[in-house]
Amino acid sequence: MKVAIAQLNYHIGNFESNIAKVISAINEAKEQSADLIVFAELSICGYPPRDFLEFNDFIDACEEGIEQIAGECTGIAAVIGAPSRNTSVKGKALFNSAYFLADGAVQSIHHKWLLPTYDIFDEYRYFEPGSACQIIEYKKTKIALTVCEDLWNVGDSPIYSSAPMDAMVEKSPDLIINISASPFSHNHREDRVDAFKENAQRYNLPIIFVNHVGAQTELIFDGGSFVMNSSGELIKELNYFNEDQVYIHTDDLNAKRIVQNGAGKLERMHDALILGIKDYFGKSGLTTAILGLSGGIDSAVTLALATRALGKEQVRAVLLPSRYSSGHSVDDAKSLVEHLGCYSKIINIEDITMSVEATLAPHFKGKKPDITEENIQARTRGLLLMALANKFGYVLLNTSNKSEAAVGYGTLYGDMAGGLSVLGDVYKTDVYALAHFINRDEEIIPLNTITKPPSAELRPDQKDSDSLPEYDVLDQILEQYIEKRLGPNEIIEAGYDPELVARILKLVNANEFKRYQTAPTLRVSSKAFGMGRRMPIVGKYLS
């Protein structure tokens, strides 16, 4: 049996586009004489549909789409993901299902057993877990059909009490097919391959894994669908960050050829962020980005990524110097714009900030200048950037990094403004590493931008290190707390200074209110701020 693996970029709720892509892939597979084509989890509606699932019209559209696609499945069969209604009087209204289509009709529906409810996943909010053990028998091949999490009950401490494959293997399948919506993080490929390797070896069965590719607001899906033999070796791996369609014959499922993707962490993050920007704009019907370019590393990396994602003609860089902006910062920003070829302009904010300060002076009488005046500068920049965005229909890109967002080193309604946070899940040390990666073939980001001490330039001779620990130390502690979820005592036991740990963790918790008000953040780590990290604003822990 010849199997087509269709790795596509879906758009949540865009049924016309999703169905057209699926039918196009089916027609291509027919031309290649494929017997079966496999699509990803919830392909019909896109993932994650979230509360769209609570609308009957939305589910009706899913069912109509399945019927339309089933009609195309003559001379070929298909496996595709979509929600299905629970006709029982008990349980949630829906299942997360895999449909088997053949001979122009729905032949069977297989429900996802294990429903993830952690990090960015909230499937038990919407779906009833499946329990029936079904095997597809097609073209003399017995297929165990699973959906994403059904193969993730692995490791020394599995989080579910049972695994569907333990029941399915008793029916002697020849092959496991897993349709997934497995989001990107910079270390997730290895975790994914290891999890499926454990399944292949445990059940002594080859696996076809089909993933989404593309971004859905914060979530980025990297693709990387693959075929794995029963020994847990990759014998075919699809493209990352691009749509792809490949073919494999079931006679070749236990080939010994090992394929490995050689991309490292920085290349993956770079490609993921570009895809995240591109799809955020494309799927939202937006065209042009604007950002404030300071001459610093964060805005420089953001501008370089945005230009690669959208094209230089669709990016606007605005330099907004104040009395504290150094000459070299302005020069560095100009140099970057010349390298990238994008549009830029300079708007000096000095007159505006002086006017605001003069207006407030009678009301601040007797008060010494402090962070208030610094924030006026940042908010003036935010005001001007948002005005330009409103007037011309641009989207403001936020340039804050994860280190700053974690400890609250940013101004609400100022430099934290924006419609999309590009680097909000990238620690400062990784921002520097990304800058070097962008410059790997030629100097695009000026060397001085990378080597000079980071500064917000809101007061004379200001440096980030005046307020924060050095980033190489800060980022290590933040990663222990945020990604690894270690408490203060555990971090101190790892060798970090107790006073420094207490100070940093207090800053993280005290600034949760700021993160609640920021733009959606492109997720590239295993624990990003936003939908995957839910902390109370008013809480006593470490405060």
Q: Is-contact 194 257, C-beta < 8 A?
A: no
Q: Is-contact 135 171, C-beta < 8 A?
A: yes
Question: CA 228, CA 199: separation in Å to the nearest integer?
Answer: 10
Burial 396-416 (b: 16+ CB within 10 A, else e): bbbbbbbbbbbbbbbbbebbb
Report residue 542 as tokens.
């470490």
Query: Is residue 265 flagged as an active site residue?
Result: no
Q: At what angle do helices 265-284 and 297-310 cross, to 10 degrees?
A: 60
Q: Is-contact 50 42, C-beta < 8 A?
A: no
Among 305, 167, 184, which Cα is nearest to 242's? 184
Give me the catalytic one of 2, 45, 62, 112.
112
Among 122, 292, 289, 183, which Cα is nearest to 522's? 183
Question: CA 406, CA 478: separation in Å to the nearest integer?
Answer: 8
Question: CA 152, CA 73: separation in Å to the nearest integer?
Answer: 30
Report residue 126 as tokens.
């919407």
Query: Is residue 41 flagged as an active site residue?
Result: yes
Question: CA 508, CA 530: separation in Å to the nearest integer?
Answer: 14
Q: Is-contact 284 12, C-beta < 8 A?
A: no
For 303-354, the three-class secondary structure string (H helix, E strand, C coil) is: HHHHHHHHCHHHEEEEECCCCCCCHHHHHHHHHHHHHHCCEEEECCCHHHHH
Report residue 271 as tokens.
């490609």
Give me the catalytic one of 45, 62, 73, 148.
148
Give me the catalytic one of 21, 41, 72, 283.
41
Whether the bond between 48 and the residue before it is cis, its omega within 30 degrees of 0, is yes
Indicate the helix (H) or strand (E) that contains 281. Answer: helix 265-284
Strand, helix or coil for residue 476 = helix
Report residue 114 as tokens.
């294990």
Residues with a catalytic annotation lie at 41, 112, 148
